[in-house]
A and B are shown apart, each in its own frame.
Chain A
Amino acid sequence: MRRALALVLLLAVLVFPLIFVRPFPRHIMIMIFLYGSLATAWNILAGYCGQISLGHAVYFGIGAYTSTLLVRDAALTPWLGMLFGAALAVVVSQAIGYPVFRLRGHYFAIATIGFGEIVQTIVLNWDWIGGARGLFVPIKRPDSLLNFQFHESKAVYYYIALGLLALALGATRWIERSRRGYYFRAIKEDQDAAASLGVQVAREKQAAMAVSAALTALGGTFWAQYVLFIDPESVFPLSLSILICLVAVMGGVGSLWGPLLGAAVLVPLSEGTRVLLGGTGKALDLVIYGALIMLIAVFQPAGLIGLVRQLARRPTLTAGARAQRESAA
């Protein structure tokens, strides 16, 4: 029964652009996929491994800027630029992680905010890469997959975004079922006890960070190619880090589908308020977000997924237990 439902859903997602040909619905779905994959990436580090990074926009921005600069200065296809972006994001993430992972809890969170701010400030003041003016992605016509630009329709973007999401989900699933996934969860629970059992805590955290950063950077490149303009305010801000985190928390940290669920709820909500309220909508949706975060923190830290599970009156399975059950089946 569940299999059938999943198949129908998958089919619906795949044929969506064929049915809905107007740009707006496609745009919503693309945003859902994008935020879904960003939140899923964040979830790997924060939900599974328990390290709450509030500065993740850094990697998004690195991805966006790297590929765009390579397109501008080296005429390199964004696909390769994407890989370079991911690689750079990984390097930066390791550099940040080295000092920051020694911290715990609140201190760690504050430190990640700080690093995010520092990087944003650096980029804002670095004229060679555009500074506050930002960068325009050189427009290339006609539409081409190689150049990763499509002006006629959003359909291809849709599928690319979907692919990105699938990648993020796949990575999460793979980790969930591997030794690393178990280690992450142990670290999240009690990293000292984990260490007493031989877990190399720092190394595991860095690994989580690396995967998370790489996936986030891929999203950044996608964004750059989608909107064809980037600037520090749009790809590096704290509000983006917050948003990513909110989407994941809303949906349910530590679960595979939670972040996507969060995106599926929040993106339409955000677009809806923007459409309804015009200019001031920007602040109002954040008001709602803030209220939502608080409500979730107080009433249902497990997020929407937790809610769904309670409603379906299934026992809340931990990710590992589910993996265990599934592989035993």
Chain B
Amino acid sequence: MSVTEPHPASLLEVTGLTKSFGGVVANRDIAFAVRPGELVGVIGPNGAGKSTLFDLITGFTRPDAGQVRLDGHDVTGLRPDRICRLGLGRTFQKLRPFHDMTALENVMIGAFLHTADVAEARAVAIDALAKVGLADRAAAHARGLSTGQRKRLELARALATRPRLLLLDEVTGGVDPGAIPGLVALVRELHGRGLALIVIEHNMRVIMDIAQRVLALQLGEVIADGPPAEIMRDRRVIDAYLGEAWRA
């Protein structure tokens, strides 16, 4: 396991992050850093603790031990809304749209972070919806959207908060395979504009495609941290997760 030294230019720094739930260790001593504009992929079998890691970083759960630093400031255990305001956004694996509100209204909630004016928020929201390709569904109620559309909606919503670092939890999970390239292109475009991203993914092709660095988790621990090509060849990762077919 490679140990990342605290890097003065890091956007996000995680050290010694540990969390147990009633005897089950979900995250143990996780440490890594993300630089501004970097796209880091996170892989690992189910139960490896990936979503828990996101919860810990974004303040949804308090860690038992460890630290989360954003821009050098300690943000460990702060409330989620604080962390969002500091520039960290996230999407959820189990989608959580506001069902009774339209897509536009959903995104406006995110937009309202930076403005109190309704008209302005609406403009920002329309813009964000356009960016994710949902402009034509703006007036539709969130509960009427398909999974792929809901994924985009959550993305647009988080984007409207103008994060500097966005945590995407399984953005291609449950999405119709034909829609995946579109989503990937979207993520790549966002990255191209300077957004730093941490992306949890099961789809290896997607990871290989966009990630600059990959973190492999297993049973709550980081077992590898490096460029995708290297990770794919790492013995421990293969044994834990990828299986023979990936030995290239």
Contacts and interface: CB of A to CB of B under 8 A. Distances in A.
Contacts of A327: 118-119
Nearest to A186: B109
Interface string B105-140: 100111011011111011000000000000000010
A201 B81 contact: yes
B38 to A, nearest CB: 22
Interface stretch (A113-121, A190-198, A206-214): A190-198
Given A177-B118, A182-B108, A197-B157, A189 B84 contact: no
Contact of B102 (A193, A197, A320): A320
A197 B100 CA distance: 17
A185 interface: yes
B139 A321 contact: yes
A183 B161 CA distance: 14
A183 B109 CA distance: 7
A314 interface: no
Interface size on B, as a range, is 35 or more
A207 B136 CA distance: 35
A190 B81 contact: no
A83 B48 CA distance: 58
B109 A182 contact: yes
Contacts of A193: 92, 96-98
Nearest to A199: B81
A318 B84 contact: no
A190 B158 contact: no
A179 B112 contact: yes
B25 interface: no
A200 B59 CA distance: 13
Contacts of B157: 197
B109 A195 contact: no
B84 to A, nearest CB: 4
A144 interface: no
A197 B158 contact: yes
Interface residues of A, number: 24
B5 to A, nearest CB: 30
A299 B117 CA distance: 38
Contact of B99 (A177, A189, A192): A189
Nearest to A189: B98
A186 to B, nearest CB: 5
Contact of B85 (A183, A189, A198): A198
B60 interface: yes
Given A183-B112, A186-B101, A198 B96 contact: no
B81 A195 contact: yes
Interface string B70-99: 000000000111001100011010001111
B79 A195 contact: yes
A324 B104 contact: yes
A195 B157 CA distance: 12
A324 B141 CA distance: 13
A321 B102 contact: yes
B68 to A, nearest CB: 15
Nearest to B88: A196
A122 B101 CA distance: 42
A179 B117 CA distance: 7
Interface in A301-322: 318, 320-321
A10 B97 CA distance: 39
B113 to A, nearest CB: 4
A178 interface: yes
Contact of B101 (A179, A192, A196, A320): A320
B80 A195 contact: yes
B101 A189 contact: yes
A277 B109 CA distance: 51
B58 interface: yes
B102 A318 contact: yes
Contact of B118 (A179, A199, A321): A179
Interface in A144-191: 177-179, 182-183, 185-186, 189-190
Contacts of B81: 195-201
A202 to B, nearest CB: 9
Contact of A318 (B92, B101, B121): B101
B100 A178 contact: no
Contact of B58 (A186, A189, A196, A320): A196
B148 to A, nearest CB: 19
Nearest to B116: A179
Contacts of B98: 185-186, 189-190, 193-194
**Which 4 interchain pairs have the tightest Cβ spacing?**
A198-B84, A198-B113, A193-B96, A195-B80
20 contacts: A178-B116, A179-B115, A179-B116, A182-B121, A183-B112, A185-B98, A185-B105, A192-B80, A193-B96, A193-B98, A195-B81, A195-B84, A196-B89, A196-B90, A197-B113, A198-B81, A198-B161, A199-B81, A201-B81, A318-B100
Interface of B: 58, 60, 79-81, 84-85, 89-90, 92, 96-102, 104-105, 108-110, 112-113, 115-119, 121-122, 139, 141, 157-158, 160-161
Given A192-B80, A197-B109, 10 more contacts: A179-B117, A189-B100, A193-B92, A195-B84, A196-B92, A198-B110, A318-B101, A318-B102, A318-B105, A320-B101
